[in-house]
Structure 1
Amino acid sequence: MSRVRTLTAVEDPLVRLVCFPHSGGSATAFRGWAAALPPGAELVAVQYPGRGDRFAGPLVDDVAETAGRAVAELIRLPSLDQVLFGHGLGALVAYETAMLLRAVGREPLRLCVSACLPPGHLKDLDVHPTLRSDLRAHARYRPGAGTTPLACPLTCYHGAGDPLVDGKRMTGWAGVTSGAFTPGVRPGGHIHVPTDVAGLVSDVLDREAR
């Protein structure tokens, strides 16, 4: 079954926004973003195994494997400039996806990460016992040996008052790219993504133009 869900139908799109859900989340978490897209933007989201319409599938507790499966489908889509956005666990999957896309000559236009410590910073596997598979993937993930920084700009979003993620530690994301690093703080705490969706989508897609 396909791992990438197209959430909008756009004729001749100019840019593709690829979204990666949080721990325990599914592709439908981004369905509400469709109404906020500017003309010419296509929205797709990755559906993890064991989620949504893939609920019957086995869980995968490996970030690199999840990203690899997503990339196998993304590279079969028409070639477009792509912006990647990942929240929580999805931030690590989006980062790994960006590196895999770079390896095939399709590094994204920009990477956006949200509510997630940089790779290798999460140690506590008991934060959410009901999400052990996702938390295990998060805690165990390390970039491959010899990994070099991306070149694309990276924007890092932190929800003000987030009790799970220390905003000061998120500046560590600056080290994964040689491109511009832009930190941002949004209202809404850890689950800030549904807050001012139009503003977030505009920022994710338009920052390069400003």
Structure 2
Amino acid sequence: MNRVRAQGRNWVRVVHGEERPTARLVCFPYSGGTAAAYRDWASALPAGVELLAVQYPGQADRIRESPADSVARIASSVAAELSPREPVRCVLYGHSLGALAAYETARLLQADGRPAHGLVVSGSLAPGQALGGRMHLASDAELWSTLKDFGGIDPSIADDVELRELLLPTLRAYIALTETYRPPTRPDPLGCPVHCHYNTEDPLVDAARVEPWTAVTTGRTSVRSRPGGHFGVLQEPSELLADITGVLLEGATLP
């Protein structure tokens, strides 16, 4: 099994390393997600692909840190840690909150002359479409119940009051980032392909507010839906991984 490891900085973790990578996939978790969630993906990716994942403050081995205070903060921190890495094809993927963070990171990389070669998102309304959401304002009991209902809480800990008290402040903080995120006014469009996946029974998304993802780029776009709840695309990721692999392989020289 691949071990997720840090390399001197806190945000970007190596899930699967390559001595001389020919392409790179960077994964941004959902609220409450960790870098370790992507360990099983390495075996599904082409040879030569370096797999990285973001570790948010307040999660896993960063649990003693305060949560990030903005999507922009996540993006700027990740972009800074990606900067010294060997310049190879880089695809960004994010789910829910991670989709917005991946988008903002793609914007920063493009502005710095290091554009991503693709952005793949899932389980997320388009930038600005979630503004005004009120889940983060619910009581502790209501928020925990809602998270359990759509699969955001492991059933094995769902009734553990002490863990709820430990985890809920950070979960609430990251949900708030999603619901209060404001994209830049008239941002420069991305130039890379953008591919979007969502599940039709996901209570947090709807087709009308997912579709505007196609407007964030001048590149190719696609929107794919299938049955399932908020985490359906991650529970059965074969279609998503095939899409990501297609972007990684496009124009790349892989062994």
Would the TM-score normalized by the shorter structure come out above 0.5? yes
**Structure 2 counterparts to residues 139-154 of structure 1, below 5 A:** 139-154=179-194
Q: Which amino acid aligns with 1:180?
A: R
- Which position in structure 2 is the counterpart of 1:205? 245
Tell whether 2:76 aligns with 1:68. Answer: yes
Aligned residue among 126, 129, 132 for 2:135: 126
- Which position in structure 2 is the counterpart of 1:91? 99
- Which position in structure 1 is the counterpart of 2:16? 8
Residues 138-177 of structure 1: per-residue CA shift (max 9 Å, x gap): 1221222341111111001012321221123200111111
- Which position in structure 1 is the counterpart of 2:3? none
- 3-state SS in 2 of match to 1:71: helix
Aligned residue among 98, 102, 107 for 2:110: 102
Aligned residue among 168, 177, 181 for 1:137: 177
- 3-state SS in 1 of match to 2:50: strand
- 3-state SS in 1 of match to 2:103: helix
Residues 72-91 of structure 1: per-residue CA shift (max 9 Å, x gap): 10112111110000000000
- Which position in structure 2 is the counterpart of 1:185? 225
Q: How much has 1:32 moved relative to structure 2?
A: 1.4
- 3-state SS in 1 of match to 2:234: coil
Aligned residue pairs total: 210
CA contact (8 A) 1:82 1:108 kept: yes
TM-score (norm 1): 0.93
Distance 1:173 1:30 in 2: 24
CA contact (8 A) 2:133 2:180 kept: no
- Which position in structure 2 is the counterpart of 1:81? 89
Aligned residue among 111, 125, 130 for 2:119: 111
- 3-state SS in 1 of match to 2:230: helix
Q: Which amino acid aligns with 2:242?
A: S
CA contact (8 A) 1:187 1:195 kept: no
Q: How much has 1:52 moved relative to structure 2?
A: 1.1
Tell whether 2:187 aligns with 1:157. Answer: no
Aligned residue among 167, 173, 180 for 2:213: 173
Q: Which amino acid aligns with 1:110?
A: G
Distance 1:40 1:187 in 2: 33
- 3-state SS in 1 of match to 2:16: coil
- Which position in structure 2 is the counterpart of 1:36? 44
Distance 2:27 2:185 in 1: 26
User: How much is the aligned-residue C-alpha RMSD, in angstroms?
Assistant: 1.8
Distance 1:187 1:65 in 2: 33
- Which position in structure 1 is the counterpart of 2:28? 20
CA contact (8 A) 2:199 2:229 kept: yes
> What are the ranges of 5 or more consecutive residues in structure 1 without an aligned counterpart?
none
